[in-house]
Amino acid sequence: MELINQIKEEAKNFFLTSRGSHDWSHTERVYNLALHIGKKEGADMEILSIAALLHDIGRDCESKSKGLICHAEKGASMAEALLKKYNISSEKIEAIVHCILTHRFRGNKIPSSVEGKILFDADKLDSTGAVGIGRAFLFAGETGAKLHNKDVDIHKTLPYTEDDTAWREFNVKLNKIKDKMLTDEGKRIARERHKVMVDFFDRLNREVDGLS
């Protein structure tokens, strides 16, 4: 546990200037979700814990590049260098790096390990449900997007623009997450959180149209 605590304290330093939608509290939620799922899926908890704590340390680089840099690839490289300072076997470092490299929803790298699949699910789950709705609006505010644009053609919109609303994020990504889960527990949680989002955006659309 001492090793985990040391890495946790070091990981926090990568989020000192991060935006609210991807700040340290996101990492903490993903960490807690990963531990919950990991206990049910029989994961190596040390590999999973460290990967969860470090999975987004490359996020600041992606944000500053407006998406040109992949935070999963950058974070995997940064994590590998960081972990070499600790008494961790090369095999475990490789396993942790694999988890970080393959955790991104929009990436084309698929996790093959149990720990990688759990981290993927835990990270995606934090984009769903009530928390996911809040984060989507928070990110939209960070990019200067509108409150809502329900009649827009999402295929003609771009990320990091005024059209990058929570509604766009729901249609581009969030409503697809429940079908992307890789673990049984992840699938169960995703189904519940998906319903929360569907009900919310149905209500939002009604209110925007002036309906009760």
Residue 112 lies in a domain: no
Residues 133 and 91 in one domain: no
Mean pLDDT of 17-40: 92
The residue range of the domain holding 147 is 127-212
Higher pLDDT, 74 or 131: 131
Residues 83 and 173 in one domain: no
> What number of other Cβ atoms are within 10 A of residue 58's Cβ?
22
Q: Please, which pLDDT band fits residue 74 given cuts at 50, 70 and 90?
A: confident
CA 156 centroid distance within chain: 24
What's the pLDDT score for residue 67?
A: 65
What's the pLDDT score for residue 18?
A: 80
Amino acid at 28: E
What's the pLDDT score for residue 1?
A: 81
Q: What is the pTM for the complete model shown?
A: 0.89
Mean pLDDT of 122-142: 95
CATH number at residue 72: 1.10.3210.10
Does 144 score more than 90 pLDDT? yes
Task: Specify the residue for token string 């009649």.
Answer: 151
In 3D space, the residue among 18, 135, 160 whose CA is nearest the CA of residue 75 turns out to be: 18
> What number of other Cβ atoms are within 10 A of residue 155's Cβ?
7
Q: Please, which pLDDT band fits residue 169 given cuts at 50, 70 and 90?
A: very high
CA distance 69 to 52: 20
Residue 151 Cα distances to 106, 121, 124, angstroms: 24, 31, 26
